[in-house]
A = this chain, B = another copy of it.
């Protein structure tokens, strides 16, 4: 974190992304020769929904939010993006546009990989293609689950889901900095920011979590999971 300007190789950008390891040395070099790096300050847009999907990308370090810009300026936050995960919306293979916007939450370094290279590797390396299919399928499955959760759970269940997402997927810790504002938490769980505030307060009043404006601590995970499951 301290060495913001330090150059990070593609090995670091793709660290944790297993598909990369399935490439031959030459293919890995091909990727290396066609990557570009850039750093972003908090709040800056890394890729913009609707613009040409010319690159796949990875974060070298930092955190970002990916979100769809929907109707009437309403956003829908899909996920928190971290290093090791491929960022490539389905639009790249359909309408050749980025499907969602990705914006930096913390300071971020991103590696951009030319999408044509990607496309070529899919054609020539079957194992890589299969791995990419797994990646896309995995995201698709999560989207479907998210859709069911959003449409079938009531607000407390949806907010519980989000809190568990942060503890289990993002920070892997039951105590964490809440990097999203209440407004953004609402964009993630499809509710008004005032409702987020109220439900967080309810959860705190019933000792399920501790919460101040910037920190969350899960005190009774069992109960939080039950709230999530009950809907």
Distance from A209 Cβ to chain B, minimum over Cβ atoms (Å): 22
Verify if A127 is at the interface (C-beta below 8 Å from B): yes
Q: B129 touching A130 by the CB < 8 A rule? A: yes
Count the copies. Answer: 2
Give chain A's interface secondary structure class: helix
Q: Mark A110-137, 1 if CB is under 8 A from B, else 0.
A: 0000000001001111110110111011
- A150 close to B (CB within 8 Å): yes
Q: C-beta contact mask, A122-156 vs B, less than 8 Å → 1, else 0?
A: 11111101101110111111011011101111000
Across the interface, A140 reaches (CB within 8 A) one of B90, B122, B130, namely B90
Flag the segment in A10-18, A36-44, A70-78, A162-170 that touches B: A70-78
A143 to B78, CA, bound (A): 12
Q: How far is the CA of A9 from the CA of B89 in the complex (A)?
A: 36
Q: Can you identify 16 A-B contacts, CB atoms within 8 angstroms?
A: A68-B144, A68-B148, A70-B148, A71-B231, A76-B147, A76-B151, A76-B152, A89-B141, A91-B141, A99-B144, A125-B126, A129-B129, A133-B133, A136-B137, A146-B147, A147-B147
Q: Which residues of A contact B (CB under 8 A)?
A: 68, 70-72, 74, 76, 78, 89-95, 99-100, 119, 122-127, 129-130, 132-134, 136-141, 143-144, 146-148, 150-153, 190, 229, 231
